[in-house]
Structure 1
Protein backbone atom coordinates (compact mmCIF):
# COMPACT_ATOMS: atom_id res chain seq x y z
CA UNK A 1 0.00 0.00 0.00
CA UNK A 2 1.11 3.55 -0.78
CA UNK A 3 1.86 5.91 2.08
CA UNK A 4 3.03 9.49 2.33
CA UNK A 5 5.48 10.22 5.12
CA UNK A 6 7.79 12.83 6.59
CA UNK A 7 11.41 12.20 7.55
CA UNK A 8 14.08 14.76 8.30
CA UNK A 9 11.77 17.56 7.21
CA UNK A 10 11.09 16.02 3.79
CA UNK A 11 7.81 14.50 2.61
CA UNK A 12 7.94 11.51 0.27
CA UNK A 13 5.86 8.53 -0.81
CA UNK A 14 6.64 4.98 0.11
CA UNK A 15 5.30 1.44 -0.03
CA UNK A 16 4.19 -0.01 3.29
CA UNK A 17 5.57 -3.46 4.12
CA UNK A 18 3.44 -4.16 7.19
CA UNK A 19 4.78 -7.62 7.93
CA UNK A 20 8.29 -6.18 8.33
CA UNK A 21 7.24 -2.87 9.93
CA UNK A 22 9.14 -1.10 7.17
CA UNK A 23 8.60 1.33 4.32
CA UNK A 24 10.20 1.05 0.91
CA UNK A 25 11.11 4.48 -0.43
CA UNK A 26 9.55 5.58 -3.73
CA UNK A 27 11.39 8.13 -5.84
CA UNK A 28 9.49 10.28 -8.30
CA UNK A 29 5.90 11.40 -8.65
CA UNK A 30 3.42 8.58 -8.01
CA UNK A 31 0.93 10.35 -10.26
CA UNK A 32 3.22 10.31 -13.30
CA UNK A 33 2.40 7.51 -15.69
CA UNK A 34 4.77 8.21 -18.58
CA UNK A 35 8.57 8.50 -18.71
CA UNK A 36 8.79 9.98 -15.21
CA UNK A 37 7.09 6.96 -13.68
CA UNK A 38 8.09 6.56 -10.02
CA UNK A 39 10.52 3.82 -9.10
CA UNK A 40 10.81 1.65 -6.02
CA UNK A 41 14.26 2.17 -4.55
CA UNK A 42 16.14 -0.42 -2.56
CA UNK A 43 16.03 1.79 0.52
CA UNK A 44 13.88 0.62 3.42
CA UNK A 45 13.04 2.60 6.55
CA UNK A 46 11.70 1.36 9.89
CA UNK A 47 8.23 2.67 10.62
CA UNK A 48 9.42 4.23 13.87
CA UNK A 49 11.73 6.54 11.89
CA UNK A 50 8.95 8.19 9.90
CA UNK A 51 5.81 10.22 10.55
CA UNK A 52 2.76 9.19 8.55
CA UNK A 53 1.05 12.03 6.72
CA UNK A 54 -2.26 12.07 4.89
CA UNK A 55 -1.61 9.71 1.94
CA UNK A 56 -2.76 12.36 -0.54
CA UNK A 57 -2.46 16.15 -0.64
CA UNK A 58 -5.53 16.99 -2.73
CA UNK A 59 -6.36 20.29 -4.38
CA UNK A 60 -9.93 19.60 -3.24
CA UNK A 61 -12.00 17.00 -1.46
CA UNK A 62 -15.33 16.28 -3.14
CA UNK A 63 -17.84 14.74 -0.75
CA UNK A 64 -21.00 12.82 -1.47
CA UNK A 65 -23.86 13.30 0.95
CA UNK A 66 -26.56 10.73 1.66
CA UNK A 67 -25.10 7.77 -0.21
CA UNK A 68 -26.24 5.02 2.18
CA UNK A 69 -29.94 4.27 2.56
CA UNK A 70 -29.71 3.71 6.31
CA UNK A 71 -27.99 7.07 6.81
CA UNK A 72 -30.74 8.83 4.87
CA UNK A 73 -33.27 7.21 7.18
CA UNK A 74 -31.48 8.28 10.36
CA UNK A 75 -31.20 11.85 9.05
CA UNK A 76 -34.87 11.77 7.93
CA UNK A 77 -33.90 12.76 4.38
CA UNK A 78 -35.38 11.46 1.12
CA UNK A 79 -33.10 9.35 -1.07
CA UNK A 80 -31.38 11.56 -3.66
CA UNK A 81 -32.10 11.03 -7.34
CA UNK A 82 -28.51 11.93 -8.23
CA UNK A 83 -25.32 12.29 -6.17
CA UNK A 84 -25.40 15.17 -3.70
CA UNK A 85 -22.02 16.92 -3.81
CA UNK A 86 -20.24 19.36 -1.55
CA UNK A 87 -16.62 20.40 -1.11
CA UNK A 88 -14.10 20.43 1.68
CA UNK A 89 -11.09 22.72 1.21
CA UNK A 90 -7.61 21.23 1.13
CA UNK A 91 -6.93 22.79 4.54
CA UNK A 92 -9.33 20.31 6.17
CA UNK A 93 -6.96 17.42 5.43
CA UNK A 94 -4.85 15.92 8.22
CA UNK A 95 -3.08 12.60 8.54
CA UNK A 96 -3.20 9.67 10.97
CA UNK A 97 -2.83 10.77 14.57
CA UNK A 98 -3.12 14.46 13.77
CA UNK A 99 -5.89 15.80 16.01
CA UNK A 100 -9.33 17.00 15.05
CA UNK A 101 -9.69 20.48 16.53
CA UNK A 102 -13.08 21.17 18.13
CA UNK A 103 -13.94 24.74 17.00
CA UNK A 104 -15.38 27.35 19.32
CA UNK A 105 -18.16 28.06 16.83
CA UNK A 106 -19.90 24.71 17.28
CA UNK A 107 -21.52 22.87 20.16
CA UNK A 108 -22.30 19.66 18.24
CA UNK A 109 -19.38 18.00 16.46
CA UNK A 110 -20.02 14.72 14.60
CA UNK A 111 -17.91 11.95 13.02
CA UNK A 112 -18.77 10.27 9.70
CA UNK A 113 -16.60 7.31 8.69
CA UNK A 114 -16.13 6.95 4.93
CA UNK A 115 -14.33 5.19 2.12
CA UNK A 116 -12.27 7.69 0.10
CA UNK A 117 -11.26 7.44 -3.56
CA UNK A 118 -7.90 8.91 -4.64
CA UNK A 119 -7.67 10.11 -8.25
CA UNK A 120 -4.48 9.32 -10.17
CA UNK A 121 -4.76 11.51 -13.29
CA UNK A 122 -6.73 14.44 -14.63
CA UNK A 123 -10.36 13.39 -14.94
CA UNK A 124 -12.90 15.41 -16.88
CA UNK A 125 -16.24 14.10 -18.15
CA UNK A 126 -15.28 10.51 -17.42
CA UNK A 127 -17.84 7.82 -18.15
CA UNK A 128 -18.62 5.32 -15.41
CA UNK A 129 -17.34 2.42 -17.48
CA UNK A 130 -13.93 4.12 -17.70
CA UNK A 131 -13.75 5.31 -14.08
CA UNK A 132 -11.30 2.69 -12.82
CA UNK A 133 -8.64 4.00 -15.22
CA UNK A 134 -8.64 7.25 -13.21
CA UNK A 135 -8.49 5.77 -9.71
CA UNK A 136 -5.14 5.39 -7.92
CA UNK A 137 -6.68 3.62 -4.95
CA UNK A 138 -8.68 3.90 -1.76
CA UNK A 139 -8.15 5.10 1.78
CA UNK A 140 -10.08 5.76 5.00
CA UNK A 141 -11.61 9.12 5.83
CA UNK A 142 -13.53 10.90 8.56
CA UNK A 143 -15.92 13.59 7.37
CA UNK A 144 -16.06 15.77 10.49
CA UNK A 145 -19.18 17.92 10.69
CA UNK A 146 -20.37 20.76 12.88
CA UNK A 147 -23.94 19.48 12.87
CA UNK A 148 -25.52 22.52 14.49
CA UNK A 149 -23.99 24.83 11.89
CA UNK A 150 -25.07 22.49 9.10
CA UNK A 151 -28.65 22.74 10.28
CA UNK A 152 -28.64 26.49 10.95
CA UNK A 153 -26.81 27.55 7.78
CA UNK A 154 -28.97 25.61 5.34
CA UNK A 155 -25.87 24.73 3.33
CA UNK A 156 -22.78 22.83 4.37
CA UNK A 157 -19.65 24.84 3.61
CA UNK A 158 -18.99 26.19 7.09
CA UNK A 159 -20.10 23.02 8.89
CA UNK A 160 -17.76 20.83 6.85
CA UNK A 161 -14.90 23.23 6.14
CA UNK A 162 -12.99 23.87 9.37
CA UNK A 163 -9.28 23.05 9.48
CA UNK A 164 -8.67 19.39 10.48
CA UNK A 165 -12.18 18.30 9.42
CA UNK A 166 -10.95 15.64 6.95
CA UNK A 167 -8.56 13.07 8.43
CA UNK A 168 -7.25 10.68 5.74
CA UNK A 169 -5.14 7.54 5.94
CA UNK A 170 -3.29 5.51 6.85
CA UNK A 171 -2.47 4.34 3.31
CA UNK A 172 -3.78 4.03 -0.23
CA UNK A 173 -4.77 0.52 -1.24
CA UNK A 174 -4.03 0.48 -4.95
CA UNK A 175 -6.04 -2.63 -5.78
CA UNK A 176 -9.20 -3.32 -3.87
CA UNK A 177 -12.65 -4.81 -4.41
CA UNK A 178 -14.36 -1.60 -3.35
CA UNK A 179 -17.84 -3.00 -3.96
CA UNK A 180 -17.85 -5.18 -0.84
CA UNK A 181 -15.82 -3.72 2.03
CA UNK A 182 -16.70 -3.70 5.71
CA UNK A 183 -16.37 -0.24 7.27
CA UNK A 184 -16.33 0.20 11.06
CA UNK A 185 -16.14 3.43 13.04
CA UNK A 186 -15.29 3.39 16.74
CA UNK A 187 -15.34 6.13 19.37
CA UNK A 188 -13.34 5.39 22.51
CA UNK A 189 -13.22 1.74 21.44
CA UNK A 190 -17.00 1.41 21.07
CA UNK A 191 -18.41 0.49 17.65
CA UNK A 192 -20.65 3.27 16.34
CA UNK A 193 -20.83 2.42 12.62
CA UNK A 194 -20.63 -1.06 11.10
CA UNK A 195 -21.65 -1.34 7.47
CA UNK A 196 -20.58 -2.45 4.01
CA UNK A 197 -19.85 -0.45 0.88
CA UNK A 198 -22.29 -2.69 -0.98
CA UNK A 199 -25.01 -0.62 0.70
CA UNK A 200 -24.15 2.53 -1.27
CA UNK A 201 -26.90 4.15 -3.31
CA UNK A 202 -24.54 5.31 -6.07
CA UNK A 203 -21.55 3.19 -7.05
CA UNK A 204 -18.02 4.55 -7.15
CA UNK A 205 -17.89 4.59 -10.99
CA UNK A 206 -21.17 6.51 -10.98
CA UNK A 207 -19.69 9.01 -8.52
CA UNK A 208 -16.56 9.54 -10.63
CA UNK A 209 -18.77 10.18 -13.67
CA UNK A 210 -21.05 12.58 -11.79
CA UNK A 211 -18.27 14.59 -10.18
CA UNK A 212 -16.06 14.81 -13.28
CA UNK A 213 -19.05 16.04 -15.30
CA UNK A 214 -19.07 19.12 -13.06
CA UNK A 215 -15.41 19.77 -12.24
CA UNK A 216 -12.04 18.54 -13.40
CA UNK A 217 -10.44 16.21 -10.89
CA UNK A 218 -6.67 16.52 -10.56
CA UNK A 219 -4.08 13.93 -9.53
CA UNK A 220 -4.34 13.40 -5.78
CA UNK A 221 -7.87 14.76 -5.49
CA UNK A 222 -10.17 12.80 -3.20
CA UNK A 223 -13.81 11.78 -3.38
CA UNK A 224 -15.50 10.85 -0.09
CA UNK A 225 -18.19 8.31 -0.93
CA UNK A 226 -20.68 8.93 1.89
CA UNK A 227 -21.23 7.55 5.38
CA UNK A 228 -23.51 4.78 6.68
CA UNK A 229 -25.83 5.08 9.66
CA UNK A 230 -24.52 5.53 13.17
CA UNK A 231 -23.12 9.04 12.95
CA UNK A 232 -22.85 10.76 16.31
CA UNK A 233 -21.21 13.26 18.56
CA UNK A 234 -17.55 13.81 19.36
CA UNK A 235 -16.18 15.63 22.39
CA UNK A 236 -12.70 16.87 23.29
CA UNK A 237 -10.62 13.94 24.49
CA UNK A 238 -12.45 11.36 22.39
CA UNK A 239 -10.50 8.78 20.38
CA UNK A 240 -12.05 8.01 16.99
CA UNK A 241 -11.06 5.46 14.34
CA UNK A 242 -12.27 4.15 11.01
CA UNK A 243 -11.29 0.68 9.84
CA UNK A 244 -11.91 -0.52 6.28
CA UNK A 245 -10.96 -4.03 5.31
CA UNK A 246 -8.11 -4.16 2.85
CA UNK A 247 -6.89 -0.70 3.86
CA UNK A 248 -6.34 -0.57 7.62
CA UNK A 249 -7.26 1.77 10.46
CA UNK A 250 -7.25 5.56 10.51
CA UNK A 251 -7.05 6.67 14.15
CA UNK A 252 -7.06 10.15 15.64
CA UNK A 253 -8.40 12.13 18.60
CA UNK A 254 -10.27 15.35 19.37
CA UNK A 255 -8.77 18.39 21.07
CA UNK A 256 -10.40 21.63 22.14
CA UNK A 257 -9.49 24.72 20.13
CA UNK A 258 -7.08 26.97 22.00
CA UNK A 259 -8.41 30.14 23.59
Structure 2
Protein backbone atom coordinates (compact mmCIF):
# COMPACT_ATOMS: atom_id res chain seq x y z
CA UNK A 1 0.00 0.00 0.00
CA UNK A 2 2.80 2.41 0.90
CA UNK A 3 4.59 1.88 -2.41
CA UNK A 4 1.41 2.37 -4.42
CA UNK A 5 0.79 5.77 -2.79
CA UNK A 6 4.33 7.06 -3.33
CA UNK A 7 3.85 8.41 -6.90
CA UNK A 8 0.90 10.56 -5.76
CA UNK A 9 2.92 12.02 -2.89
CA UNK A 10 5.80 12.89 -5.20
CA UNK A 11 3.59 14.39 -7.88
CA UNK A 12 1.70 16.84 -5.67
CA UNK A 13 4.61 19.20 -4.81
CA UNK A 14 5.61 19.50 -8.47
CA UNK A 15 2.04 20.39 -9.46
CA UNK A 16 1.87 22.94 -6.65
CA UNK A 17 5.16 24.47 -7.73
CA UNK A 18 3.98 24.60 -11.34
CA UNK A 19 0.78 26.37 -10.28
CA UNK A 20 2.77 28.75 -8.07
CA UNK A 21 5.14 29.71 -10.89
CA UNK A 22 2.32 30.18 -13.38
CA UNK A 23 0.34 32.35 -10.97
CA UNK A 24 3.40 34.36 -10.01
CA UNK A 25 4.08 35.10 -13.68
CA UNK A 26 0.50 36.29 -14.18
CA UNK A 27 0.88 38.64 -11.21
CA UNK A 28 4.37 39.95 -11.92
CA UNK A 29 3.68 40.53 -15.61
CA UNK A 30 0.45 42.39 -14.88
CA UNK A 31 -2.00 39.88 -16.36
CA UNK A 32 -3.64 39.94 -12.93
CA UNK A 33 -4.00 43.55 -11.85
CA UNK A 34 -3.41 45.01 -8.37
CA UNK A 35 -6.59 44.64 -6.34
CA UNK A 36 -8.03 42.01 -8.69
CA UNK A 37 -9.77 39.12 -6.93
CA UNK A 38 -8.23 35.69 -7.49
CA UNK A 39 -10.22 32.56 -6.66
CA UNK A 40 -9.49 28.85 -6.90
CA UNK A 41 -12.24 28.16 -9.43
CA UNK A 42 -11.17 31.08 -11.59
CA UNK A 43 -7.61 29.77 -11.75
CA UNK A 44 -8.74 26.18 -12.33
CA UNK A 45 -10.34 27.33 -15.58
CA UNK A 46 -7.50 29.68 -16.50
CA UNK A 47 -4.60 27.30 -15.83
CA UNK A 48 -6.32 24.02 -16.57
CA UNK A 49 -5.23 22.49 -13.28
CA UNK A 50 -7.03 20.90 -10.35
CA UNK A 51 -8.05 22.86 -7.25
CA UNK A 52 -5.62 21.23 -4.79
CA UNK A 53 -2.32 22.54 -6.24
CA UNK A 54 -3.91 25.91 -7.03
CA UNK A 55 -5.17 26.25 -3.45
CA UNK A 56 -1.68 25.51 -2.12
CA UNK A 57 -0.10 27.91 -4.64
CA UNK A 58 -2.41 30.74 -3.60
CA UNK A 59 -1.45 30.26 0.04
CA UNK A 60 2.26 30.31 -0.85
CA UNK A 61 1.86 33.49 -2.88
CA UNK A 62 0.13 35.11 0.07
CA UNK A 63 3.16 34.14 2.17
CA UNK A 64 5.37 35.78 -0.47
CA UNK A 65 3.27 38.95 -0.03
CA UNK A 66 2.06 38.98 -3.64
CA UNK A 67 -1.53 38.16 -2.62
CA UNK A 68 -3.65 39.18 0.33
CA UNK A 69 -6.51 37.14 1.81
CA UNK A 70 -9.99 38.64 1.56
CA UNK A 71 -12.46 38.47 4.47
CA UNK A 72 -15.10 37.20 2.05
CA UNK A 73 -12.87 34.37 0.85
CA UNK A 74 -10.32 34.08 -1.89
CA UNK A 75 -7.42 36.42 -2.48
CA UNK A 76 -6.63 39.72 -4.17
CA UNK A 77 -3.46 40.78 -5.96
CA UNK A 78 -1.54 43.06 -3.66
CA UNK A 79 -0.76 46.62 -4.70
CA UNK A 80 2.51 48.29 -3.70
CA UNK A 81 3.46 51.93 -3.31
CA UNK A 82 6.80 53.50 -4.21
CA UNK A 83 7.57 53.47 -0.50
CA UNK A 84 6.84 49.73 -0.33
CA UNK A 85 9.37 49.12 -3.11
CA UNK A 86 12.04 51.12 -1.28
CA UNK A 87 11.31 49.52 2.10
CA UNK A 88 11.51 46.01 0.65
CA UNK A 89 15.01 46.72 -0.63
CA UNK A 90 15.98 48.32 2.69
CA UNK A 91 14.78 45.29 4.64
CA UNK A 92 16.66 42.89 2.40
CA UNK A 93 19.84 44.98 2.68
CA UNK A 94 19.53 45.19 6.48
CA UNK A 95 19.12 41.43 6.80
CA UNK A 96 22.04 40.77 4.46
CA UNK A 97 24.10 43.18 6.55
CA UNK A 98 23.28 41.09 9.61
CA UNK A 99 24.32 37.96 7.72
CA UNK A 100 27.69 39.52 6.87
CA UNK A 101 28.23 40.55 10.49
CA UNK A 102 27.40 37.09 11.81
CA UNK A 103 29.69 35.51 9.24
CA UNK A 104 32.55 37.74 10.38
CA UNK A 105 31.94 37.27 14.10
CA UNK A 106 31.44 33.50 13.92
CA UNK A 107 34.14 32.84 11.37
CA UNK A 108 33.78 30.99 8.08
CA UNK A 109 35.28 27.84 6.65
CA UNK A 110 38.35 28.07 4.39
CA UNK A 111 36.34 26.38 1.64
CA UNK A 112 33.79 29.22 1.74
CA UNK A 113 36.53 31.82 1.43
CA UNK A 114 37.98 29.96 -1.55
CA UNK A 115 34.54 29.88 -3.14
CA UNK A 116 34.15 33.61 -2.50
CA UNK A 117 37.50 34.41 -4.12
CA UNK A 118 36.61 32.30 -7.14
CA UNK A 119 33.31 34.12 -7.48
CA UNK A 120 35.02 37.50 -7.20
CA UNK A 121 37.40 36.49 -9.98
CA UNK A 122 34.49 35.49 -12.20
CA UNK A 123 32.74 38.78 -11.49
CA UNK A 124 35.96 40.62 -12.37
CA UNK A 125 35.86 39.13 -15.85
CA UNK A 126 32.35 40.49 -16.33
CA UNK A 127 33.00 44.04 -15.12
CA UNK A 128 36.57 44.43 -16.42
CA UNK A 129 37.24 47.94 -17.71
CA UNK A 130 37.94 47.04 -21.33
CA UNK A 131 34.48 45.54 -21.73
CA UNK A 132 32.06 47.91 -23.46
CA UNK A 133 28.88 45.91 -22.92
CA UNK A 134 28.60 43.54 -19.98
CA UNK A 135 26.96 40.13 -20.07
CA UNK A 136 23.94 41.07 -17.93
CA UNK A 137 22.59 37.53 -17.54
CA UNK A 138 25.99 36.24 -16.39
CA UNK A 139 26.42 39.13 -13.97
CA UNK A 140 22.96 38.48 -12.49
CA UNK A 141 23.78 34.80 -12.03
CA UNK A 142 27.15 35.45 -10.37
CA UNK A 143 25.75 38.26 -8.23
CA UNK A 144 22.95 35.98 -6.97
CA UNK A 145 25.54 33.31 -6.10
CA UNK A 146 27.64 35.87 -4.23
CA UNK A 147 24.73 37.06 -2.10
CA UNK A 148 23.68 33.45 -1.42
CA UNK A 149 27.21 32.64 -0.29
CA UNK A 150 27.34 35.53 2.17
CA UNK A 151 24.02 34.35 3.62
CA UNK A 152 25.34 30.78 3.88
CA UNK A 153 28.47 32.06 5.64
CA UNK A 154 26.29 33.37 8.48
CA UNK A 155 25.31 29.81 9.34
CA UNK A 156 21.81 30.83 10.47
CA UNK A 157 18.85 28.93 9.10
CA UNK A 158 16.40 31.36 10.71
CA UNK A 159 18.10 34.38 9.15
CA UNK A 160 18.37 32.67 5.76
CA UNK A 161 14.62 32.02 5.88
CA UNK A 162 13.87 35.67 6.60
CA UNK A 163 16.15 36.86 3.80
CA UNK A 164 14.52 34.41 1.40
CA UNK A 165 11.13 35.83 2.30
CA UNK A 166 12.36 39.42 1.96
CA UNK A 167 13.87 38.64 -1.45
CA UNK A 168 10.78 36.79 -2.71
CA UNK A 169 9.18 40.03 -3.85
CA UNK A 170 10.30 40.30 -7.48
CA UNK A 171 11.64 43.84 -7.14
CA UNK A 172 13.58 43.20 -3.91
CA UNK A 173 16.08 40.53 -4.99
CA UNK A 174 19.77 41.53 -5.20
CA UNK A 175 19.82 41.66 -9.01
CA UNK A 176 16.26 42.84 -9.71
CA UNK A 177 17.34 46.35 -10.70
CA UNK A 178 20.48 45.49 -12.67
CA UNK A 179 18.61 45.87 -16.02
CA UNK A 180 17.73 49.46 -15.03
CA UNK A 181 21.34 50.09 -14.09
CA UNK A 182 22.61 48.94 -17.50
CA UNK A 183 20.66 51.79 -19.16
CA UNK A 184 22.58 54.38 -17.19
CA UNK A 185 25.59 56.16 -18.77
CA UNK A 186 27.34 55.42 -15.46
CA UNK A 187 26.54 51.71 -15.63
CA UNK A 188 30.10 50.46 -15.77
CA UNK A 189 31.21 52.82 -13.01
CA UNK A 190 28.39 51.61 -10.74
CA UNK A 191 29.24 47.97 -11.44
CA UNK A 192 32.85 48.67 -10.57
CA UNK A 193 31.76 50.17 -7.24
CA UNK A 194 29.50 47.19 -6.57
CA UNK A 195 32.34 44.79 -7.29
CA UNK A 196 34.66 46.70 -4.96
CA UNK A 197 32.01 46.38 -2.24
CA UNK A 198 31.86 42.64 -2.91
CA UNK A 199 35.61 42.42 -2.33
CA UNK A 200 35.53 44.63 0.75
CA UNK A 201 32.78 42.66 2.49
CA UNK A 202 34.63 39.36 1.96
CA UNK A 203 37.83 40.95 3.27
CA UNK A 204 35.97 42.22 6.35
CA UNK A 205 34.46 38.77 6.95
CA UNK A 206 37.87 37.13 6.65
CA UNK A 207 39.38 39.62 9.13
CA UNK A 208 36.47 39.06 11.57
CA UNK A 209 35.42 42.73 11.33
CA UNK A 210 31.71 42.32 12.00
CA UNK A 211 30.63 45.96 12.11
CA UNK A 212 32.53 46.79 8.94
CA UNK A 213 31.14 43.78 7.07
CA UNK A 214 27.61 44.76 8.07
CA UNK A 215 28.07 48.41 7.09
CA UNK A 216 29.47 47.51 3.66
CA UNK A 217 26.68 45.05 2.91
CA UNK A 218 24.03 47.58 3.88
CA UNK A 219 25.72 50.24 1.78
CA UNK A 220 25.78 47.75 -1.09
CA UNK A 221 21.95 47.76 -1.05
CA UNK A 222 22.01 51.52 -1.60
CA UNK A 223 22.96 50.85 -5.23
CA UNK A 224 19.57 49.19 -5.68
CA UNK A 225 17.93 52.26 -4.11
CA UNK A 226 19.71 54.48 -6.62
CA UNK A 227 18.53 52.32 -9.49
CA UNK A 228 14.99 52.38 -8.12
CA UNK A 229 14.98 56.18 -8.00
CA UNK A 230 16.11 56.20 -11.62
CA UNK A 231 13.29 53.81 -12.53
CA UNK A 232 10.67 55.97 -10.83
CA UNK A 233 11.90 58.95 -12.86
CA UNK A 234 11.58 57.23 -16.24
CA UNK A 235 8.66 55.02 -17.31
CA UNK A 236 10.90 53.13 -19.74
CA UNK A 237 13.24 52.19 -16.90
CA UNK A 238 10.35 51.33 -14.59
CA UNK A 239 9.10 48.83 -17.17
CA UNK A 240 12.35 46.90 -16.65
CA UNK A 241 11.71 46.42 -12.92
CA UNK A 242 10.24 42.98 -12.09
CA UNK A 243 6.79 43.45 -10.62
CA UNK A 244 6.46 47.06 -11.80
CA UNK A 245 2.88 46.26 -12.81
CA UNK A 246 2.04 45.96 -9.10
CA UNK A 247 2.97 49.52 -8.24
CA UNK A 248 0.45 52.15 -7.25
CA UNK A 249 2.13 55.41 -8.15
CA UNK A 250 1.93 58.34 -5.75
CA UNK A 251 -0.24 61.12 -7.10
CA UNK A 252 1.53 64.35 -7.91
TM-score (norm 2): 0.27
Please identify which structure carries the higher strand content: 1
Instruction: Answer with 1 or 2: which has the greater Rg.
Output: 2
Q: Which has the higher helix share?
A: 2
